[in-house]
Structure 1
Amino acid sequence: MANSQIRAPRMAKGRLEAFSDGVIAIIITIMVLELKAPPQADLAAMRALIPGFLSYVLSFVYVGIYWNNHHHLFQVVKHVNGATLWANLHLLFWLSLFPFATAWIGENPFAALPVAFYGVVLLLAALAYFLLTRTLVLHHGAGSALARALGRDRKGKLSLLLYAAAIPLAFASAWLACALYILVAVIWLVPDRRMERALTP
């Protein structure tokens, strides 16, 4: 009697992608609803909204980066398992805190605690994304196209270091902490072709 191989369960990825897209769309909607129209029709009233608008722009860029990377990642992913579903929910949890963190930093521009909290959310979201990629690599195997595409993930590890540095820095200089958040966003705005190369025959 031949020995049967025990294989990890494989599930289609479509529902995970659709759910993630829906949650991310809701996150963006909630963030923009936090932008309130000025009570007066003059430039002075508009100037008061600039900090909130700038925090919205930065958060929109970050959410867009996560959506873009998530989309590219799952183009290479062939199937998912239960661990992947939980790892993905873990990522969505931290992304769902973006509207709160954005509103707080917008209402209290360059205040140390809101800026540090924003960094904590960024750090934990980045860590959750890293854990999602490791879970997928474990599921697909170290020799898979996904594992080769991710490689050493230098950008991901550098981002974690910069967030970790920015959080305590916020209590000394919130401006510099925000500059680090912007720097990480700029790093990720540079096109990343790893996943696209993995899809090339």
Structure 2
Amino acid sequence: MMRSTPKTRLEAFSDGVIAIIITIMVLELRPPHGVEVADLLDVLPVWLRYALSFVYVGIYWVNHHALLDRVAKVDGAALWANLHLLFWMSLIPFVTAWAGEHPMAPVPGALYGAVLLLCSISFLLLSWRLKSEGAGQAMAWGSRKNRLSIVLYAVAIGVSLVYPPLGVAIHVVLALLWLMPERS
């Protein structure tokens, strides 16, 4: 049986993985082939999807730190729950590149939404695991905001298969929702 480990190991590993995720995403960006302002339109969907994904990774990074601020040690189950989150987050560069290259295609948009949904669920599982380690009710991931997010991510997957622009709109609204501070 694994003993408790200082949270600093989990934090450092997670920070490193998240930094790599952002690095991979930015390395996927390509400049326009031409030199005119109009040439930017060709790469705009990829850049916009990158910006959205960067915001999502940032939201997870900030909330991850807020969650871990409330615990001193983690156990093996928490390490695995964290790896589960990092696995889904590590797929963000792939779905970002695919959905950016094909912004109005149903399957890339739906897969992008599926990865976001699985990131949200895995963060919820991690926060539940850390609840017993001292995180308590401090994180709002079990809140109405999180439940609404999970439902809307699932809706966005289905909507993306029928009308991709609406799926993207739902993803943008959800990012904005998480950027808004909680009311006390």
TM-score (norm 2): 0.94
Amino acid at match of 1:149: A
The reply on whether 1:180 has 2:154 as its aligned counterpart is no
Q: How does 1:151-170 map to 2 (within 5 A)?
A: 152-170=142-160
Unaligned 5+ runs, structure 1: 1-7, 195-201
- 1:71-150 superposed matches below 5 A: 71-137=65-131, 139-140=132-133, 144=134, 146-150=135-139
Aligned residues: 183
Per the alignment, do residues 37 and 107 of structure 1 end up closer, same or farther by CA in structure 2, a change over 3 Å counting? same
Aligned to 1:57: 51
- In 2, the alpha carbon distance for the partners of 1:28 and 1:147 equals 30
Alpha-carbon offset, residue 55 of structure 1: 0.2
Residues 28-69 of structure 1 deviation map (CA, whole Å, 9 limit, x = unaligned): 011011111122211232110000000000000000000000
SS where residue 169 of structure 2 aligns? helix
Q: CA deviation at 1:193?
A: 7.6
> SS where residue 5 of structure 2 aligns?
coil
Q: Residue type matched to 2:57 in 1? A: V
- The SS at the match of 2:104 is coil
**Superimposed CA distance per residue, residues 159-190 of structure 1 (whole angstroms, 9 cap, x where no aligned partner):** 11100111111122111111111111011001
1:75-111 deviations in Å (ceiling 9; x for gaps) = 1112100000000000000000010000001110121
Q: What is the RMSD computed on CA atoms of the aligned residues? A: 1.8
2:181 equivalent in structure 1: 191
Q: Distance in 2 between matches of 1:54 and 1:148?
A: 35
Instruction: Report the CA distance between 1:135 and its aligned residue.
Output: 1.0
Runs of 4+ aligned residues of structure 1 deviating over 6 Å after TM superposition are: none
Q: How does 1:30-49 map to 2 (within 5 A)?
A: 30-49=24-43
Query: Any unmatched runs of 5+ in structure 2?
Result: none
Judge which range, 161-170 or 35-44, deviates more: 35-44
* Identity across the alignment (%): 52
1:70 equivalent to 2:59? Answer: no
Find the partner of 1:10 among 4, 15, 26: 4
* Structure 1 Cα separation of the partners of residues 139 and 79 of structure 2: 19
**Shift of residue 149, structure 1, vs aligned partner:** 1.2
Return the index of the structure with the highest Cα Rg.
1
